[in-house]
Amino acid sequence: MQQPGEKGLEPTILEVNEGKKYKLTEETIEIAGITLYRIQAIRDFGDVYAGDLGGFIADENNLSHEGECWVYDFAQVYQNAVVLDDARVTGRARVYGHAKVCERASVNHDAVVRGRARICGNSVVTRNAQVSGNACTADYALVGTNAKVHGSARIYEFAQARGNVIVSGHAKLYGFAQVVGNAKISGYAEVSGYTSY
């Protein structure tokens, strides 16, 4: 009896998909001249079941087959961006450029993460927020409701940037700091502790 992989035998579907958790479907959209493919789960993991449709990616380099990470709904991940570990991209969020969403972080609603931005830990980027450049969120940080974080800014621990806030340059928000409204934090400014700005 021939064994799988021996000449003359075609690999089974199980062998072809071994280690994979999703496949690219034939449903596509085009963004800036790039074709994105809707994904479909081929096995159960986390809150995703075999057969569930996900969002859109350009290719399998955008979404790891390891962990419980997933691109949901109409979310889009493309160019050299990557979603890893147990991270989630949901709603109509977009992640592109060389951005990275990892660990248990989430990007949702209409948020945009681009450039070389890193969204890590349990941080959340939501509701039209934008994180770009070399900016980074980590721990339990929240960037939401139209906030813009760019340059080499860092938001971490339990800090929050919400509203029309702009955090740029090498600015840092950490501790339990909350920056809301129309505030602008830039340069090498640091906002920390239990500060509300």
- Structure confidence by residue, pLDDT tens digits, 99-141: 999 999 999 999 999 999 999 999 999 999 999 999 999 999 9
Question: Are 146 and 127 a contacting pair, CB within 8 Å?
Answer: yes
Domain ranges of the chain: 1-108, 123-197
Phi (first) and psi of residue 120, to 5 degrees: -130, 180
pLDDT tens sequence across 12-46: 444 446 689 999 999 999 999 999 999 999 999 99
Tokens 């958790």: give the residue: 21
Strands in 112-113's sheet, in edge-to-edge order, are 22-31, 34-41, 53-57, 76-77, 94-95, 112-113, 130-131, 148-149, 166-167, 184-185
pLDDT of 2 reads 41
The model carries a pTM of: 0.90
- 99 vs 96: CA distance, rounded Å: 6
* CATH class of segment(s) 123-197: mainly beta
- Please tell me the distance from the alpha carbon of residue 18 to that of residue 53, in angstroms, as a whole number: 19
Given this model, what pLDDT does residue 19 score? Answer: 85
